[in-house]
Amino acid sequence: MALAVLVVAALACNLPQAAPSAEPNAAFTAAALTVAAQLTQVAQTQSAPTSAGSLPPPTNTSLPTIAPPPPTIAPPPTLPPTPTQICDAAAFVTDVTVPDGTVFAPNTAFVKTWRLKNVGTCSWTPSYTIVFDHGDQMSGPSAQALTSNVNPGQTVDLSVNLVSPAVNGSYKGYWKLRNPSGVTFTQFYADVKVAVLSSGFDLYTRAPDAAWIGGGGGGGGTILTFGGPDSDPNGFVMYRSGFLLEDGSSPSKILETHPKWVDDGVISGEYPAYTIVAGERFRAKIGFLAKADGTCGAGKVKFQLNYKEGGSLHPLGTWTKNCNGNLMTLDVDLSSLAGHSIRLVLAVLADGPASQDWAVWVAPRVVLP
């Protein structure tokens, strides 16, 4: 059975041309003419002889020879430096848990996990340790040994148990790795905020504020009005407080979400944004309304809890349920989303025909235990 898809020039280079070089013979000729002119000028400025007589024959003076310039020797190529091999080195990959700026209530225990990569040439063994370096220690250990070998090129998730401080504010603790010789390397940190926040989100009370859509069966989605009617062929959502459920109970907070009345029909509701507080959990019971005589109908559906963040839909859980006389209890840890502003999405998908898919959520809520 297919699950129904949830709705949602380069510049031209005019380099100046170098002036044409004079031919070597022309350069030598110009030099010779210049020297000859200088000699003529000297001869003309000499004083005339004091006595008459024959002038001495002129002395033939040879012109100096101009030597050609020496050839240009290209410098030897520069060799790249030889890379230095480092034994102990790590590279930060990502925060597996508790992204920077996560908000915690005071005195809240949490686990901080970093993903690091061994980018050195030496393997990390259990003789290597995570050590607190400086900043806010947040009740973390001063040193904690690695639990397995990490060879060069491998990644590893390293975790420490921390507790948020008792006073509101921003806190940052720095940690490093330490080798068996006591040398520390590669800094990483935990960055959290502590604030007294109002916690809890009641999905039952806020159901009228959600955007409900019915769809499936190859057709498009249809916006549904909260409160029915329960005869709407596109599906419906409404309160059913006090109705009889398949287990014989009649709770006060029953939210019925019936998918579109087609094979593999769907109904989904996207709630307003809510910022998750560290330690919060989603809790509810799921099941079916009973028939008038208290017995089960033929309902069979998939319940889904999803969340939307940044326009993308992410699953938190899927539970297949048929009417069997028992409710199913849900308890989903939302700690990985602490500090995130998300939109929770409830969905029900018909597992085949939608007849008697009287699917209910009993007291759906986000709570801080």
pLDDT of residue 66: 54
pLDDT of residue 82: 59
Whether 214 is in a domain gets the answer yes
Same domain, 231 and 150: no
pLDDT of residue 5: 33
Residue 49 has pLDDT above 50, yes or no: no
Contact (CB, 8 A) for 103 and 198: no
Residue 42 has pLDDT above 80, yes or no: no
Confidence of residue 109 (pLDDT cuts 50, 70, 90): confident
Same domain, 206 and 188: no
pLDDT of residue 277: 86
Q: Which residues contact 115 (CB under 8 A, 6 or more apart)?
A: 92, 93, 94, 95, 96, 155, 156, 157, 158
Mean pLDDT of 146-152: 97
Residue 369 has pLDDT above 90, yes or no: no
Q: Which domain holds residue 98?
A: 90-194
Kindly report the CATH number assigned to the domain that includes residue 329: 2.60.120.200
Domain boundary among 174, 194, 214: 194
Alpha carbon 98 to its chain centroid, in Å, reads: 13
Same domain, 186 and 214: no
Q: How many domains does the chain have?
A: 2
Mean pLDDT of 160-182: 96
Both structure tokens of 218? 């190859």
Q: Phi and psi (nearest 5°) for 271?
A: -90, 165
Same domain, 321 and 344: yes
Cis preceding-peptide flag for 251 (omega within 30 of 0): no
What pairing do the DSSP bridges indicate for beta strands 109-118 and 90-95? Answer: antiparallel
In terms of Cα–Cα distance, which of 348, 364, 352 is closest to 259? 348
Same domain, 181 and 94: yes
Same domain, 257 and 126: no
Mean pLDDT of 195-210: 87
Residue 46 has pLDDT above 80, yes or no: no
Domain boundary among 194, 214, 246: 194
| pLDDT cut 90: percent of the chain above it | 61
The larger pLDDT score, comparing residue 153 to residue 41, is at 153
pLDDT of residue 196: 72
Same domain, 187 and 310: no
Residue 106 has pLDDT above 60, yes or no: yes
Mean pLDDT of 41-48: 40
Same domain, 229 and 185: no
| pLDDT cut 70: percent of the chain above it | 76
Domain boundary among 172, 194, 216: 194
Confidence of residue 11 (pLDDT cuts 50, 70, 90): very low
